[in-house]
Amino acid sequence: GLPARVRIHEVGARDGLQNEKGAVPTEVKAEFVRRLAAAGLGTVEATSFVHPKWVPQLADAEDLFPLVRDLPVRLPVLVPNERGLDRALALGAREIAVFASATESFAKANLNRTVDESLALFAPTVVRAIEAGLKVRGYLSMCFGDPWEGPVPVEQVVRVARALADMGCDELSLGDTIGVATPGHVEALLTALNEAGVPTSRIAVHFHDTYGQALSNTLAALRHGVSTVDASAGGLGGCPYAKSATGNLATEDLVWMLDGLGIETGVDLAALTATSVWMAEQLGRPSPSRTVRALSHK
Give the interface segment with ligand HMG, choosing from 1-9, 24-32, 81-89, 221-229 (CB under 6 A).
81-89
The yes or no reply on residue 10 touching Mg ion (CB under 5 A) is no
Residue from 10, 15, 45, 176 touching Mg ion (CB under 5 A): that is 15
211 contact choice in ligand HMG, Mg ion, none (CB below 5 to 8 Å, kind-dependent)? none
The yes or no reply on residue 39 touching ligand HMG (CB under 6 A) is no
Sequence-distant (6+) residues with CB within 8 A of 81 are 121, 122, 125
Q: Minimum distance between the CB of residue 254 and ligand HMG, rounded to whole angstroms? A: 15
Residue from 47, 57, 81, 287 touching ligand HMG (CB under 6 A): that is 81
Residue from 12, 16, 76, 84 touching ligand HMG (CB under 6 A): that is 84
Strands 135-141 and 171-176: parallel
Give the interface segment with Mg ion, choosing from 7-15, 56-64, 70-78, 188-196 (CB under 5 A).
7-15
Give DSSP secondary structure letters for 189-237. Answer: HHHHHHHTT--GGGEEEEEB-TTS-HHHHHHHHHHHT--EEEEBGGG--
What is the maximal distance between C-alpha atoms in the chain? Answer: 53
Closer to Mg ion at the Cβ: 33 or 140? 140
Yes or no: say if 209 and 247 are a contact pair by the CB < 8 Å rule.
yes
Ramachandran quadrant class, 51 (left: phi over 0; alpha: psi -120 to 50; beta: rest) = beta
239 is catalytic: yes
Say how far apart CA 213 and CA 251 lie, in whole Å.
Answer: 14
Helix axes of 26-38 and 269-283: crossing angle, nearest 10 degrees: 170
Say how far apart CA 110 and CA 48 lie, in whole Å.
Answer: 13
Q: Minimum distance between the CB of residue 38 and Mg ion, rounded to whole angstroms? A: 24
Contacts with ligand HMG in 119-178 (CB under 6 A)? 139, 141, 175, 177
Closest residue by beta carbon to Mg ion: 15
Residues recognised as catalytic: 239
The footprint of ligand HMG (CB under 6 A) covers 15, 18, 48-51, 54-55, 78, 80-81, 83-84, 87, 99, 110-112, 139, 141, 175, 177, 206, 208, 239, 241
